[in-house]
Structure 1
Amino acid sequence: MSAQTTQPAEPTESVGLTVYNQDFAIVRERRTMPLAAGRSEVRFKDVAATIVADTVHFLSLRPAGDATVIEQNYEFDLVSANKLLDKYIDKDIGLITRDGSLIEGKLMSFDDGQLVLAVKDGIQMVPRGKNVRDIRFSALPGGLLTRPTLVWLVNAKQAGDHLVEVSYRANGVNWRVDYRAVADADGKTLDLSGWVTIDNRSGRTYEDARLKLMAGEVHVVKKQEDRLRDRYALGREVALQAAPAFEEKAFAEYHLYELSRPATIKDQQVKQIELINIEQIPVTRKYQYRGEADNVHVILEFKNAKETREGLGIPLPKGPIRVYQMDADKQNEFIGMDAIEHTPKNEDIKIRIGTAFDLKGERVQTSEKRPAERVEDKDWRIRLPNHKDQPVKVEVLERLEVGGRNWEIREASHEWKKKDFQTITFEVNVPANGEVAITYSVEYTW
């Protein structure tokens, strides 16, 4: 009995969209197109208005390799009122005025303020704006398009229907992630949800597209003509989906998130799809003093790992995170907002939500000496009063005045650690309704 082999699926018509968080997307589309044998002109309509024409790639899938493009033009001279008028210079048109009168004549010229017509009894200048209700043309002139179109000169070996794949870059498509975290009343756990927001201003709707999101900063050299203009007004339509449905996978040096079902991304639409929804993540509340006035920062921290909570342990795209906490009335109150960077699995996520009301810091230089040439000694005192009814642990970050000098901590009241070449840290327990004072001496040499 012979083993059965799985045959690869036959390619079919489809649309794929890979969106980068750098305001562009790669569009891949498969269409069946009738081609004549030999050379013929073919129009590929309904491309994005923001297409970067020199990124277009054409491939004949069925028959494989049968057709090639030997010349390409991108035509975007789309129909507008002024373009129609320009095509009708020295031709007959009809104007319907606000009072219903019909004026017929040969269009001689026009601008934003008026139309100049040669009529039977001479020249008539007709004000535009609200005065002109309608303009009648006999036909659509040649050379104008209703949609952006790629025009190819194609060389095909045989006539018939060809399945072709066309890919190109389109500007004006972006995505981001917005996170929402809700901490429980005691602040020991939080529920985390993340929503992908896709903003499409490319001038085209993508029906039933296979959607992928690329996380990471790819290097793109921008030419002047590639830079986006504000071509479209914002028409925001928010489409909410019900369940998280993205599959994450590593790709090259980046991470790819693929939606498990087709999605329609309309032009001028903001679509939102849930990325993650994880409940009861254990968090640690930390306090940090950086010597900035008297502010002690409040930080919620957890590790992005499966061991922390099922559902974590995947790379999380960068994005803002809004934090709420449940009060005694079971109402969620806003307590702060931060942003996370692209965070790989098994890395810590730190959310700075604001400054503590009942914790303060005070940093004072108590002495400065120059005991020898190229030697400087400085003494510092850091006071941490705690007005809470419970003890807290505070991390103190001290940024040293390096400036190309060597340093050495000569004395310190508490244990310290070197964070980097110019920063040391202290971790101290501050009693309820009490305070702690940290003192240290640093010697600089150069």
Structure 2
Amino acid sequence: MAILLGSPLAAQTSLSIYRDGRVVVRRTLPQALQQGRNTVTVKLDGLDPATLFSPDTAVSVVATTTRAASTVDEALARAIGQTLSFVRAKGDTVRATVLSVTPPQYRLTDGRLLLGSPGEPLFPSELVRTGEEAMVTLEASRGRPRTEVAYVAQGATWEATYQVLLGRGRAWVAGVATVTSQVQVDSAEVQVVAGAVRATRPPRAEKGVFAMPAPMAARAASEEAQEEAVGERHVYTLPGRLTLERGVAVATALFPRTGAEFTREFIARGAFPFQGFYGPGPTGPTTVPVQVWYTLKRPTRSPFGDRPLPAGSVQVYESDSAGRPQLLGEATIDHTPAGSDVRLYTGDAFDVTSEWLQTDWRTEPLQRQPITGAAGPQKLTASYRVTLRNAKADAVTVDVIERHQGEWKVTESSMPAERLSAGEVRFRVPLPAGGSVQLTYTIEAKS
């Protein structure tokens, strides 16, 4: 029994789209399968034939044979014995019966033979493969009312984008899934999959697919995706059925806008020594940007906290005095499970600055090697002065972070040092509105 499935994406039931461009295609066709062997022809268009299988446990794939798009000679070979129309150089047409392709032999309607092409052949559609095709042999243990197949293809991807609008102590968060396809998809159920999915086989090379800027097609804001955990991944089923056009991005809400508490932090990270390698710093002061971080609180049993968030980009806005949202910065987040806060680095502060100066640096040998007399471990002492300035009309607190490797400690400081980890301490420095504060501290380390 032979079945032609036609366009590969025209009748599919659903797609699962992954961020790396892979697509799991599941299709349920109305054609019935007889018990025993059945032959199905599928146009590839991105299908990896090695991944083809049937989700129906009563059906197994026995063999798959792939064929490339038809050439003129291949189509003529399939037309042997048939009469075709040929377009001649003058623009008129002549009809001839194909007798042989190699060598070329044709019989004209008056019975004469032509040992050469009569012109450009015009083929009926059933003789031409317009794209790659796979001929699939299926074994059905019993008759089936329909044909179910699934396979992995290439040609679509998706990304998550979030918009955060900051208010007075509260933020409003919305999430959007944007799907971009490089193949035509008509009226399909679409799911997007979040999570790191391991791949062991290289993707099939795509023909005629080019990356182009994608126009955007937005969907109604009232529609949102339905999320569920499958294995160690999270799957979001987009509402309704989608038609994806080649190169057109379709955006769908991941969840309705929801509120969340947030905090803002100013962080100045130590400038010396660079990446933990001890040495004398510059002789003059060094300006170090003060980073601006926002933390979105996501407690459990809250609408925002109970949602796992796919990795993506975050745009942070705050409204001006007239209520116009202004973009404060963009950040990226990793896959974030439910109940985990989201930290966003949005850029550097304008009105809060820091200036670092290494005021002292000394080395002292602890001992020499007893046999060779070579230099042994050294004790390093370094002192710093950090000048913090605040030009804002409001008081702020700046977290000064000092990071080093190996064995080290803060021996003295003008403000308390809080040990965050083996390699990091924090000084919390309150800054008055329009004022400045100097922080001094000394560290001791072994090298």
TM-score range, shorter chain: 0.7 to 0.9
Q: Which structure 1 segments of 5+ residues have no match?
A: 1-12, 108-123, 125-133
Q: How many Å separate the matches in 2 of 1:101 and 1:313?
A: 69
**2:72 is the alignment partner of 1:84:** yes
Partner of residue 10, structure 1: none
Q: How many Å separate the matches in 1 of 2:353 and 2:21?
A: 42
Partner of residue 348, structure 1: 341
Q: Which structure 2 segments of 5+ residues have no match?
A: 1-10, 99-115, 272-286, 367-377
Partner of residue 43, structure 1: 40
Partner of residue 5, structure 2: none
Q: How many Å separate the matches in 2 of 1:367 and 1:230?
A: 64
The normalised TM-score by structure 2 is: 0.76
Amino acid at match of 1:399: R
- Cα 1:44/1:417, change in 2 over 3 Å: farther
Query: Displacement, 1:221?
Result: 1.1
Q: Secondary structure at the match of 1:54?
A: helix
Partner of residue 419, structure 1: 420
- Deviations along 1:203-226, one digit per CA (max 9) or x if unpaired, are 3515232x3222110111133xx2
- Cα 1:206/1:26, change in 2 over 3 Å: farther
- Cα 1:189/1:230, change in 2 over 3 Å: farther
Partner of residue 296, structure 1: 290
- Contact 2:186/2:243, CA 8 A, preserved across alignment: yes
Partner of residue 115, structure 1: none
- Deviations along 1:39-85, one digit per CA (max 9) or x if unpaired, are 4x522435x51111111112546xxx2x543222233x235xxx337
- Cα 1:196/1:442, change in 2 over 3 Å: same
Amino acid at match of 1:256: V
Mapping 1:16-415, distance limit 5 Å: 16-36=14-34, 38-39=36-37, 42-46=39-43, 49-60=45-56, 65=58, 67-75=59-67, 77-78=68-69, 83-84=71-72, 87=75, 94-95=86-87, 101-102=91-92, 137=122, 139=124, 142=127, 144-156=128-140, 162-184=145-167, 188-201=169-182, 203-209=183-189, 211-223=190-202, 226-229=203-206, 231-233=208-210, 234=212, 236=214, 238-242=216-220, 243-291=222-270, 293-306=287-300, 310-373=303-366, 374-400=378-404, 402=405, 405-415=406-416
Amino acid at match of 1:407: W
Q: How many Å separate the matches in 1 of 2:353 and 2:36?
A: 81
Q: Secondary structure at the match of 2:353?
A: coil
Aligned length, in residue pairs: 392
**2:434 is the alignment partner of 1:433:** yes
- Contact 1:291/1:362, CA 8 A, preserved across alignment: no
Q: How many Å separate the matches in 2 of 1:440 and 1:146?
A: 74
Q: How many Å separate the matches in 1 of 2:345 and 2:207?
A: 34
Runs of 4+ in 1 over 6 A off after TM superposition: 103-107
- Contact 1:238/1:271, CA 8 A, preserved across alignment: yes
Q: How many Å separate the matches in 2 of 1:426 and 1:435?
A: 15
Q: Secondary structure at the match of 2:288?
A: coil
Sequence identity percentage:
22
Q: How many Å separate the matches in 1 of 2:223 and 2:399?
A: 37
Q: Secondary structure at the match of 1:283?
A: strand
Q: Secondary structure at the match of 2:72?
A: helix
Query: Displacement, 1:268?
Result: 3.9
Structure with greater strand percent: 1
- Cα 1:22/1:381, change in 2 over 3 Å: same
